[in-house]
Chains A and B, each alone.
Chain A
Amino acid sequence: MSPGLLILIILCTGIAGLVLGRRRALLRSESSGQRLHSLPMAYGQSVFLFATVPALLLVAVWLLLQPVFLEGRAAGMIPTSDIPAGSGIALLLDEARRIANGLPATAATLPSVIAAAQALNEGYESARLSLSIAALALALGGAIWAFLRIKPEARARNLVEQFILAMLMGASLIAILTTFAIVASLIFETVHFFQVYEARDFFLSLTWSPRFGGGSQLGLWPLLWGTLYISFIALLFAVPVGLMAAIYLSEYAGPRMRAVAKPLIEILAGIPTIVYGLFALITVGPLLRDYLAQPMGLGDSSSSVLTAGLVMGIMLIPFVSSLSDDIINAVPQSLRDGSYGLGATRSETIRQVVLPAALPGVVGAVLLAASRAIGETMIVVMGAGAAAKLDLNPFEAMTTITVKIVSQLTGDTEFASPETLVAFALGLTLFIFTLGLNILALVIVRKYREQYE
């Protein structure tokens, strides 16, 4: 039985339990003359939940663990002598999996691999059968158990409530656990990296020059500098423009202007970053080179920090303006009235009353934009190039952590080499950076909250 069909049957069992449970609750209350504690539907729902939730959980866990278990057993069937020198068992297992899935074996396929494939195939067959039996038994058992427990005085309503609470907690747990899993996978590979590469060199070296033959210098600083420099320029452009646009939209623009301008600005947020990249590559880059860099003698590269920074800034404008606009609108009208009532002009009111009141939110918006800027990849590849350099000149090509993560992972080097593993160390650095930024945002917001509310 395929998992999809199995889930459908479990759900049908649950729905049947729902209908029958409801009827049983009504009948029992009638025959005993006792008033039901909960609505009849709640009894039905409790049967539905007991029938479906444990069975579905079993299916989910089983499907997650099944490959791990079966492949471990298949791997045990391949003798170490069959593994070609220089590679792992993973390649042979891949082959076994392909054969098990129905691809024909070639003449070169080792007999042990074919045996492993057969074992896999049989394992899948039998596992599927036992899963179906177990899940259906659990569904039926749960339904019958819950069905028999239906009594007029049973607190079905509270039971359903607890189930819902557990489901909600489970959902938030998934989000939290995923974060942990991501961090754990990063840390795991980063540890690998530091086993093959000196941590001191990574954190202190000022050169980034990966080499295929080994002897690479993988210093963090040129990449970190490029990331911060480009993000800084992007924010330098996006924050004032976005904030002023937000002030205009929320304080000055009439309703008709607002209805037109706000969606137009938000269109910017919908443009894919690769399109921004094209804009940087063919328009902004050459423009900056021809009209600024070359006349000033600061370089003749069309990819530059300034190009990427400006285009990224344009991308961030809707973030800053849209969030700030909402925040400024949330400042109570009574504060504005108070200021106007003292004879303040509009801009005085905005600068001295509205913006200070909106500050925590605006800081949050800016830091959110900063996180986006630090994580941006495509615009940097196409706007700033891929050369890792430590330079102050904004007309030089530079690159960022994210770009290098992509290029290191998609290169041809072996996975276990420091040149590839460095991507995880870089990823972890980036993660820690944005985490720090978010914590900073929280601290700032909380500090001003205390003062202003």
Chain B
Amino acid sequence: MKDMRIAERTVDSQTSKMIARGVQVHYGTTHALKDVDVDILDKTVTAFIGPSGCGKSTFLRCLNRMNDTVASARVTGRIELDGEDIYDRRVDPVQLRARVGMVFQKPNPFPKSIYDNVAYGPRIHGLARGKAELDEIVEKSLRKAAIWNEVKDRLNAPGTGLSGGQQQRLCIARAIATSPEVLLMDEPCSALDPIATAQVEELIDELRGQFSVVIVTHSMQQAARVSQRTAFFHLGNLVEYGETGQIFTNPTDPRTESYITGRIG
């Protein structure tokens, strides 16, 4: 673990963007997530780590109610976004997902042109008035996702024709285009090669200036590199949550220490 550089811990903000209290998730008869309390800070990268099947992706999918699309999932507890309960009946999950965007494990560009992929969100939410404004949003999002220079000459080419790393950055651009307040990333680099991974990680660090990023990762080096705060999940429990530096150098729970040093997981 000597290559594990710990990023600068300049947490810009101490205000909580999202607050989760007593969150439980059942898939049918399986109890996937047990009583999780987490505060996601504004303008911060929060990493969820833990062995496979520990519930970190499940919890991530609770934050924008993606679990609603799974018929057998049942979520209880309270999750707030800016003090508002997102599981309240008055909240439209569709509107919520525009504020809490998501990037998936496997790059999933739509069968459309690069331009239309990025313009998808702004179009369905009516964020742009006219073509010029939409062009501007697309360009800005692609620039922020650090892919503009590679695709600016072929915006009408299909998004599926890009390489894996480019596709994933396109998906990030697509998520940024709806100007979310929180960006959820579910193992965004697991299908990418090391170079593309480095690009995406650099990007995540830049995105932190504008909104909170929550990233699920299997790579502890990655968590150490990009995040300011880290949560460790194990068997559906949130074991430990705190400053990344503290989790990696001085964990309080023995399970965290075993996982980080490679004894469990």
Contacts and interface: CB of A to CB of B under 8 A. Distances in A.
Contact of B69 (A340, A353, A357, A452): A340
A452 B111 CA distance: 5
Interface in B95-116: 95-99, 101-104, 106, 108-112
Contacts of B178: 342-343
A342 B96 contact: no
Interface string B96-139: 11110111101011111000000011001100000000000000
A195 interface: no
A171 to B, nearest CB: 37
A338 interface: yes
Interface string A246-269: 000000001000000000000000
A335 interface: yes
Given A352-B120, A452-B160, A453-B160, A341 B97 contact: yes
Interface string A322-350: 00000000001011111111111100100
A175 to B, nearest CB: 34
Contacts of A357: 110-111
B71 interface: yes
A416 to B, nearest CB: 56
B98 A343 contact: yes
A353 B106 CA distance: 17
A338 B66 contact: no
Contacts of B95: 343
A343 B94 contact: yes
Contacts of A375: none
B112 to A, nearest CB: 7
B174 interface: yes
B105 to A, nearest CB: 8
A343 B96 contact: yes
A451 interface: yes
Nearest to A453: B160
Given A342-B175, A343-B95, A345-B94, A335 B110 contact: yes
A337 B121 contact: no
Contacts, number: 79
B101 A341 contact: yes
Contacts of A286: none
7 contacts: A332-B108, A335-B111, A338-B104, A343-B97, A344-B121, A348-B124, A353-B110
Interface residues of B, number: 30
A340 B97 CA distance: 7
Contacts of A338: 104, 108-110, 171, 174
Given A254-B71, A341-B175, A357-B111, 13 more contacts: A334-B106, A338-B104, A340-B69, A342-B102, A342-B120, A342-B121, A343-B99, A344-B124, A345-B124, A348-B124, A352-B124, A356-B112, A357-B110
Contacts of A344: 94, 120-121, 124
A174 B171 CA distance: 50
A357 B108 CA distance: 12
Interface residues of A, number: 22
Nearest 9 Cβ contacts at the A-B interface: A343-B98, A341-B102, A343-B97, A452-B111, A334-B108, A338-B108, A342-B121, A357-B111, A356-B111
Contacts of B160: 451-453
Contacts of A340: 66, 69, 97
B64 interface: yes
Interface string B146-171: 00000000000010100000000001
A452 B117 CA distance: 13
A338 B69 CA distance: 12
Q: Which of A332, A341, A451 has the most CB of B within 10 A?
A: A341
Interface in B52-100: 64, 66, 69, 71, 94-99
B124 to A, nearest CB: 5
A19 to B, nearest CB: 54
Nearest to A352: B120
A188 to B, nearest CB: 47
Contacts of A353: 110-111
A356 B110 contact: yes
Contacts of A345: 94, 124
A185 B248 CA distance: 81
Given A254-B71, A352-B120, A341 B111 contact: no
Contacts of B94: 343-345
B221 to A, nearest CB: 26
A224 B171 CA distance: 50
B174 A342 contact: yes
Interface string A277-300: 000000000000000000000000
Contacts of B109: 338
Nearest to B116: A352
Nearest to B97: A343
Contacts of A352: 110, 112, 120, 124
Contacts of B104: 334, 337-338, 341
A159 B242 CA distance: 69
A340 B121 CA distance: 10
A340 B178 CA distance: 13
A336 B111 CA distance: 12
